[in-house]
Structure 1
Amino acid sequence: MTRVAIIGAHGKIAQQLMRVLYDRGDDFIGIVREDDHADDVYRFGGEGVTLDIEHAEPDAIARAYEDADAIVFSAGAGPGSGVARKRTVDFEGSVKAQRAAELAGIRRFVQVSAMGMDDPVADDADESWKAYVEAKRDADVELRASDLDWTIVRPGSLTLDDGTGLVEIAQRVSRGAIPREDVAKVIAAVLATPSTIHTQFELVSGSTPIDEAVAGVASAES
């Protein structure tokens, strides 16, 4: 049984992930900003921890990882948040979570990013979008430069549709959409596949079963 600490556990991907982990018999800690969100984690079958990563120091985050085997960073400032919070949550939150993993002696770190984060941003793009891309891109750069056993998962447009269990995964894929349920199942498969360490990939809905697709990326990257 694996014990997973999920940062940003109130988010829609994280909630799907908690369902998947529970069904697999894994244990999880859901790190959230508010007490009522922590109560939701307990209802999913995990342990809820209230902690605001935007303002917490790495040592406090490390304590929240108690006995975890792996970290999943799925936090984000979210739509409607200002430019400043894109930096303090999506980038600085990730960096602090990475430092906390090092302090806690936890090597496995899976980060939920987004498709196309390394692509140039148009000069006339919305400032909030620019800030989002810069924050996600820089967080990924920081993680790739770390000594952690990282994997970066970059889904396409996210939907609330039921998962199909079928995906397309590669370093780069054509623009497309994917249900959050399938993203969660991919994260769970990544956690169970050590050969995905030090891989970064994009994913959208496709025609390949998730476990096969994850294994294919791992072997292609090895």
Structure 2
Amino acid sequence: MSVSKVIVFGAHGKIGQHVIKLLSKLDYKTTAVVRNDEQASTIQKLADNSSNVSSTNLTIDEASVKDLSGSIKGNDAVILTVGSAGKNLLQVDLDGVVKTFEASVEANVKRLILISAIHAENREFGEKSQIRDYYIAKHYADRILIDEFSNKLDYTIIKPTHLTDDPSTGKIDIIKNLNEDVGKISRTDVAKVLVEILNLKETYGKSYNIKNGSHDIDNPSTYEA
């Protein structure tokens, strides 16, 4: 079944806003999860008041699995771009994200795309980072998704390198090893990746470390392992 209805958690975040802009211009029915009415108003402006975009008020750290499941039900895919900017790592970046995995299964929505962090799979890489606690949260959220939900969710994990607000290039490279220069990537291009792979089955069950590069985001061969 192809994806036509999408729910975006973290829609008011810097990457999430770009995702909403892109989805509003395409033939997707989109639900933006926001914290309050003020954020909902921002979303409507970003979407040019598109009738294809609606909002629901929910805080992922306070919501129960049942609450989350109720918001997810009826959609075809979940995009998770949530992040607490280091303020609530356990409640949001780890527990809130894992609750959303559980809720997606409960709602019978299999397609899920998660934003993580460059080389989050490598504990030693995170230990050397100045934001070590952030990496710990990302590492274990990713690990739980892979270890506990691989048979229940058609997931893809996108792990962008250093984020910028530079204009979109439309091109990325997949970082294959720890010795490779991690470079940087624009938030707009990360959002383009999320939208581009929504219906790309070749990305199911895979994780990608990404940076701006020379491969077209809209070319399926870019994501071949």
Do they superpose with TM above 0.5?
Answer: yes
The answer on 1:157 being equivalent to 2:159 is: no
Q: Hey, what does 1:106 align to over in structure 2? A: 109
Aligned: 1:53 with 2:60: yes
In the alignment, is residue 176 of structure 1 matched against residue 183 of structure 2? yes
Q: RMSD of the TM alignment (CA)?
A: 1.8
- Aligned pairs (5 A) from 1:59-98: 59-79=66-86, 81=87, 85-98=88-101
Whole-angstrom distance in 2 between the partners of 1:19 and 1:31:
14
Deviation of 1:169 after TM superposition, in Å, equals 1.8
Distance 2:133 2:153 in 1: 25
Decide whether the 8 Å contact of 1:193 with 1:215 is kept in 2. no
Taking the aligned partners of 1:47 and 1:123, their CA distance within structure 2 comes to: 40
Counterpart for residue 215 of structure 1: 221
Summarize deviations over 1:145-169 as a string: whole Å, max 9, x none: 2021100000011111110101112
Listed as ranges, the gaps of 5+ residues in structure 1 are: none
What amino acid is the match of 2:166? D
TM-score, L = length of structure 1: 0.89
Aligned partners of 1:58, 1:105: CA distance in 2, in Å? 13
1:139 alignment partner, SS class: helix
Q: Provide the rounded CA distance (Å) in 1 between the counterparts of 2:189 and 2:12.
A: 17
Equivalent runs, 1:130-169 vs 2, <5 Å: 130-145=132-147, 146=149, 147-169=152-174
**Matched position secondary structure for 1:14:** helix
- Residue 12, structure 1, aligned to residue 17, structure 2: no
Structure 2: gaps (5+ residues): none
Aligned residue number for residue 35 of structure 1: 37
Q: Structure 2 length normalisation: TM-score?
A: 0.88
Q: Could you tell me how far apart the structure 2 residues matched to 1:195 and 1:115 are?
A: 21
Preserved CA contact (<8 Å) 1:69 1:108:
yes
SS at match of 1:6: strand
Query: What is the identity, as a one-letter code, of the residue corresponding to 1:165?
Result: G
The separation in 1 between residues aligned to 2:192 and 2:128, in whole angstroms, is 36
CA distance in 2 between partners of 1:67 and 1:123 (Å): 40
Asked if the contact 1:87–1:131 (Cα under 8 Å) also holds between the matched residues in 2, the reply is no
Identity of aligned residues (%): 29
The whole-number CA distance in structure 2 between the counterparts of 1:123 and 1:150 is 26
